[in-house]
């Protein structure tokens, strides 16, 4: 039966109306889902900003650009690296595995600043002889952090795990001591560099004083209390003119804030030894150099600038005398650190209470043969086959001292410390590492580099 024309137009209208409603609904749906998507994106962005602020406070606080900013991270901590991932079973397993000795009577050492120059070399040496080693490092950007990551990678290949965290993070430190009964702490984390102290003075207070105290506060409560060996500096001799520098010489005239914070560390060590019975050994390092070294040090950036054909500043004293350093090769320093750890007596306290007198030591670790900066440049010229563009200028009044020279009698007597690497041999090894690491074309360099043993 045919339908009437009126019926057809009604159906058509109904159909049009339905299709209008469907379009309206789907538009509403699109608008609603767009709103939802926008809100979810906004929420995710806010969460990301929150995590970024927590994990990279330096970006928001512009710590490096504002030397007056001072932020001691004693109560806050890096969520991603410590309590967040740090609470996990897998993380604890890594911590335990790394710090467990593999030899009878092996040490279990917490190395602070393990991704640093001396820290990475010592961690490797300890691990190689069967000791347990756990590193902690904040990977700060005082110098190129990729170098620190490179050292971390190397250590990971030897099963040394580095916890990413700060020595000012009390919660993280006590967590590590809850997990591991460390026998020793090798404390090498510090704000290094003599001249940078004029640019960012408070970073020295934060690392070298507050960080050290925070570490000692944790260690005093640990059970067992470990013995602590830590890095002081030749710079504590400051304006002392008595040579060679002996541990008994005066150290109350620091020439830089760096030196002053290291000297403060020695006094703080005395206090914790006296009150809590902590066994403490300070090592006064003399201008340590070598492969995987610090790019802020003269031998390192002279090499970089000379390879690139850039000029270098060679300092002389105000009365035009040569400036000299008792440059000490890293392998000799490592032997000194291990010797100190091996001869460190146990701390005597427990639970924050002293039970009896404990060992308190200070040693020079130098090379005993100062070399002028001019001579250092000549050695580099020969190794690199490059003539340096030298600007000879008077030493700026920025904390540098004219010379250093170690008397090492005490370290020799107590743990057989005997440096064996002269500056030429040590720099040869450094240059060999440098050209390899930075992929410098060897055709530009003296072929004698190839004979080095490192
Ligand atoms: O023993 C230490 O306790 C310290 O050693 C190191 O300090 P320094 O001995 O000052 O080494 P470093 O900067 O390499 O300057 C070497 C020489 O080059 C001269 N120097 C420096 C810069 C320059 O442009 N020109 C120059 O002649 C300069 O005058 C100096 O004579 C560590 O950095 C420090 O962290 C600390 O560990």
pLDDT of residue 453: 36
Q: Ligand 1 centroid vs 323 CA: distance in angstroms?
A: 10
pLDDT of residue 249: 98
- Give me the phi and psi of 150, to 5 degrees please: -60, -45
DSSP labels for 397-411? SSS--SB--B--HHH
Tell me whether residue 414 is in a domain: yes
Q: Which residue minimizes the CA distance to atom 33 of ligand 1?
A: 193
b or e along 368-407 (b: 16 or more beta carbons within 10 Å of the residue's beta carbon)?
bebbbbbebbebbbebbebebebeeeebeeebbbbbbbbb
Mutate to test the pocket of ligand 1, among 199, 244, 261, 373 (most ligand atoms within 8 A of CB): 373
Q: What helix, strand, coil percent values describe the chain, rounded to 5?
A: 50, 15, 35
Q: Which helix (H) or strand (E) holds 316?
A: strand 311-316
Tell me whether residue 78 is in a domain: no
- What is the position in ligand 1's atom list of the atom closest to the CA of 236? 3
Tell me whether residue 170 is in a domain: no
Q: How far apart are CA 80 and CA 52, in angstroms?
A: 10
Tell me whether residue 22 is in a domain: no
143, two tokens: 């110098």
- Give me the phi and psi of 269, to 5 degrees please: -60, -45
Q: What is the CATH number of the domain that holds 300?
A: 3.40.50.720
- What is the position in ligand 1's atom list of the atom closest to the CA of 402? 31
Count of domains in the chain? 1
**Spacing of C-alpha 349 from chain mean position:** 29
- What is the position in ligand 1's atom list of the atom closest to the CA of 262? 3
Q: Is the pTM of this model over 0.90?
A: no
Q: Ligand 1 centroid vs 399 CA: distance in angstroms?
A: 10
List helix spans (H) across 296-422.
Answer: 298-307, 330-343, 373-384, 409-415
Task: Let me know: does 95 contact 122? Beta carbons within 8 Å.
Answer: no
Q: Which residue minimizes the CA distance to atom 8 of ligand 1?
A: 287
Cα dihedral 58, 62, 64, 68, rounded to 10, equals: -120
Q: Which residue has the tokens 């710090």?
A: 99
pLDDT of residue 47: 61
Tell me whether residue 393 is in a domain: yes
- What is the position in ligand 1's atom list of the atom closest to the CA of 299? 14
Residue 257 sits in which domain range?
190-451
b or e along 253-272 (b: 16 or more beta carbons within 10 Å of the residue's beta carbon)?
ebbbbbbbbbbbbbebbeeb
- Give me the phi and psi of 354, to 5 degrees please: -75, 140
pLDDT of residue 329: 99
Task: Let me know: does 432 contact 438? Beta carbons within 8 Å.
Answer: no
Q: How far apart are CA 184 and CA 224, in angstroms?
A: 10
Cα dihedral 22, 26, 32, 33, rounded to 10, equals: 150
Q: List, in order, residues 6 or more apart from 312 with CB less than 8 Å away.
A: 301, 302, 305, 306, 377, 388, 389, 390, 391
Q: Ligand 1 centroid vs 46 CA: distance in angstroms?
A: 45
pLDDT of residue 16: 63
Tell me whether residue 269 is in a domain: yes
pLDDT of residue 398: 87
Q: Ligand 1 centroid vs 230 CA: distance in angstroms?
A: 20
Opening angle at CA 201, ends 76 and 268, nearest 5:
70
Q: How far apart are CA 366 and CA 410, in angstroms?
A: 12
Tell me whether residue 29 is in a domain: no
What lines the ligand 1 site, CB under 6 Å?
Answer: 192-194, 233-235, 285-287, 297-298, 313-315, 323, 325, 373, 395, 400
Q: Which residue minimizes the CA distance to atom 22 of ligand 1?
A: 298
- What is the position in ligand 1's atom list of the atom closest to the CA of 286? 1
Q: Ligand 1 centroid vs 211 CA: distance in angstroms?
A: 23
pLDDT of residue 12: 56
Mutate to test the pocket of ligand 1, among 258, 295, 376, 400 (most ligand atoms within 8 A of CB): 400
pLDDT of residue 69: 35
Q: Ligand 1 centroid vs 194 CA: distance in angstroms?
A: 7
Tell me whether residue 9 is in a domain: no
Q: List, in order, residues 6 or more apart from 361 with CB less than 8 Å away.
A: 280, 281, 282, 340, 344, 414
Instruction: Write the DSSP symbol of residue 396.
Output: P
- Which residues are catalytic, by number? 258
Opening angle at CA 384, ends 423 and 327, nearest 5:
20
pLDDT of residue 221: 97
pLDDT of residue 5: 42
Sites in the chain below the pLDDT cut of 50: 1-6, 51-84, 447-454
């Amino acid at each position: 039966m045919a339908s009437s024309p009126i019926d057809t137009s009604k159906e058509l209208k109904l159909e049009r109306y339905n299709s209008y409603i469907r379009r309206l609904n789907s538009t509403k749906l699109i608008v609603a889902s767009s709103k939802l998507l926008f809100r979810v994106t906004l929420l995710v962005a806010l969460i990301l900003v929150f995590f970024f602020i927590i994990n990279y406070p330096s970006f928001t606080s512009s710590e490096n650009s504002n030397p007056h900013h001072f932020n001691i991270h004693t109560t806050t901590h890096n969520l991603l690296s410590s309590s967040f991932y740090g609470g996990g079973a897998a993380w604890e397993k890594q911590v335990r595995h790394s710090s467990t000795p593999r030899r009878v009577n092996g040490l279990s050492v917490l190395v602070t600043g393990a991704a640093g120059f001396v820290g990475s070399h010592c961690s490797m040496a300890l691990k190689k002889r069967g000791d347990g080693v756990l590193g902690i490092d904040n990977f700060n950007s005082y110098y190129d952090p990729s170098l620190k990551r490179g050292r971390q990678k190397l250590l990971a290949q030897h099963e040394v795990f580095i916890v990413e965290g700060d020595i000012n993070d009390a919660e993280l430190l006590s967590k590590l001591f809850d997990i591991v009964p460390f026998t020793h702490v090798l404390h090498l984390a510090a704000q290094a560099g003599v001249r940078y102290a004029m640019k960012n003075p408070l970073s020295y207070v934060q690392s070298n004083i507050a960080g050290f105290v925070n570490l000692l506060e944790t260690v005093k409560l640990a059970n067992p209390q470990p013995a602590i060996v830590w890095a002081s500096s030749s710079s504590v001799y400051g304006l002392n003119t008595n040579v060679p520098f002996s541990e008994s010489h005066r150290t109350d005239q620091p020439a830089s804030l760096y030196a002053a914070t290291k000297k403060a560390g020695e006094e703080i060590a005395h206090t914790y030894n006296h009150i809590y019975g902590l066994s403490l050994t300070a090592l006064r390092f003399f201008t340590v150099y070598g492969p995987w070294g610090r790019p802020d040090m003269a031998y390192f950036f002279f090499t970089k600038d000379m390879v690139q054909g850039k000029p270098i500043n060679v300092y002389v004293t105000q009365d035009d005398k040569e400036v000299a350093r008792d440059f000490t090769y890293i392998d000799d320093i490592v032997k000194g650190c291990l010797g100190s750890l091996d001869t460190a007596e146990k701390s005597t306290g427990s639970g924050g209470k002293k039970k009896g007198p404990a060992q308190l030591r200070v040693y020079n670790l130098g090379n005993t043969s100062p070399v002028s900066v001019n001579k250092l440049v000549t050695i580099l010229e020969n190794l690199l086959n490059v003539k340096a563009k030298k600007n000879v200028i008077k030493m700026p009044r920025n904390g540098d001292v004219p010379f250093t020279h170690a008397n090492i009698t005490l370290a020799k007597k107590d743990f057989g410390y005997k440096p064996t690497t002269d500056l030429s041999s040590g720099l040869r090894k450094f240059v060999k590492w440098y050209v390899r690491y930075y992929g410098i074309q060897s055709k530009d360099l003296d072929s004698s580099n190839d004979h080095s043993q490192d």
